[in-house]
Amino acid sequence: MEHKRIVVGVSGGIAAYKACTVVRQLAEAGHSVQVVPTESALRFVGAATFEALSGLPVHTGVFDDVPQVPHVAIGQQADLVVVAPATADLLARAVAGRADDLLTATLLTARCPVLFAPAMHTEMWQHPATVANVATLRERGAVVLEPASGRLTGADTGPGRLPEAEEINTVVSLLLERSDALPYDLAGRKVLVTAGGTREPIDPVRFIGNRSSGKQGYAVARVAAQRGAEVTLIAAHAAGLIDPAGVHVVRVSSAQQLQDAVTKHAPEAQVLVMAAAVADFRPARTAQAKIKKGPDNQGEPTIELIRNDDVLAGAVRARADGQLPNMRAIVGFAAETGDENGDVLFHARAKLQRKGCDLLVVNAVGEGRAFEVDHNDGWLLAADGTESALEPGSKTLMASRIVDAVVAFLGGRD
């Protein structure tokens, strides 16, 4: 990605210490990072820390470095402004259009994407004043992240925790790739996403698995949640991924467990996105003790396989049978290779017809493609015969394109 000029605003909450990691990661990615804290923020983290991490001087007031007119210039020159943490007070001042310090003045002059990452106690986050302020900022075009749930200051837990730095910077990268990637257009929708690769146990040590990292499914869940959906993520084995903020995560291991979780949660959902790599087969019997290699003359063990149920096709049938009355869109995924019978799209079209889903995301797989990488590309096939390319980019960018297609499909069905 081309290196950008990013302003990191820091307001006065205990989560200000996490802004240090945000700044460090952005600077290490090669971006020019200007930290603009409030006076209250400097009571938690000193200016010297932010200067050391960013390599640029830190000011808080509009009368600092007056000849450079920073209260206007910083916002005008930025490619993106991210405020992390954004306290309830900062959100209120931004809504009111206050300009009584350098950060709020910068927010008034910025014409680039603005991202707020709220952090506050649950009661403050849920207070009608904060709810109204967040809605106003979103109406004005700002992106306000859903906070994470977890440990807050003291012994309190609940929604209001600042998302991890990696998640904030993932959204930053998405907005730098595509500034309109996160409209708040899924409010009131319930979305069920599956992700990761299932593992089918052979014995207590070994399993049949696949190369899925879960990154694409997690990205879809993250984008859908930040676009307003109530998201449940059924997560099979993933590569140590951070749970997306604002997402309810259900952990599973095998294909049967994933199928059971989909059966449980699908009746409440309007959208199902089956991004998980579900094993087609499982061992007919699972050994209760480790299978020993034994002496060389013992012969080779044989593992009998039986077919797993097709979870995606099962959901399509359940909807047709009236068991999923709320379901409006079912999205499948296909990891394909070409062979002597046809290319990737040939096999994908056949799979779409066979599965009966509304949309099918198609990835060509191979060394360094689709699995275990951070980027992706492919095609989006629809049941009505339309096809479109998903251009190369981050998996989060691809997730935003997939969610676009879901939103458009829902608009045509409602």
Which residues sit in the known binding site for CTP? 280, 290, 333, 351, 355
Question: 248-282 burial, b for 16+ CB within 10 Å, e for fewer?
Answer: bbbebebbbbbbebbeebbeebbbbbbbbbbbeeb
DSSP assigned state of 310:
-
- Return the H-helix or E-strand segment holding 86: strand 80-86
Q: Return the number of other C-beta atoms located less than 10 Å from residue 11's C-beta.
A: 31
CB 311 within 8 A of CB 274: yes
CB 393 within 8 A of CB 410: no
Amino acid identity for residue 114 in this structure: V
Place of tokens 């306000």: 144
Sheet harboring 359-364: ordered strands across? 247-251, 230-235, 190-195, 271-274, 329-336, 359-364, 375-382, 387-394
d(CA 129, CA 116): 16
d(CA 239, CA 245): 17
CA atoms within 13 A on the CB side of 342: 9
Which candidate in 133, 169, 210, 308 is catalytic? 210
Which residues sit in the known binding site? 280, 290, 333, 351, 355
Write phi, then psi, for 49 (nearest 5 degrees).
Answer: -65, -45
Place of tokens 């409030």: 38
Place of tokens 């689709």: 370
List residues bridging with 234 in a β-sheet: 194, 250
Q: Which two tokens stand for residue 319?
A: 């909807």
Q: Return the number of other C-beta atoms located less than 10 Å from residue 382's C-beta.
A: 16
Report the chain's C-alpha Rg in angstroms: 24
Amino acid identity for residue 270 in this structure: Q
Catalytic annotation present for 341: no
DSSP assigned state of 350:
H
CB 308 within 8 A of CB 255: yes
d(CA 194, CA 333): 10
> Which residues belong to the active site?
210
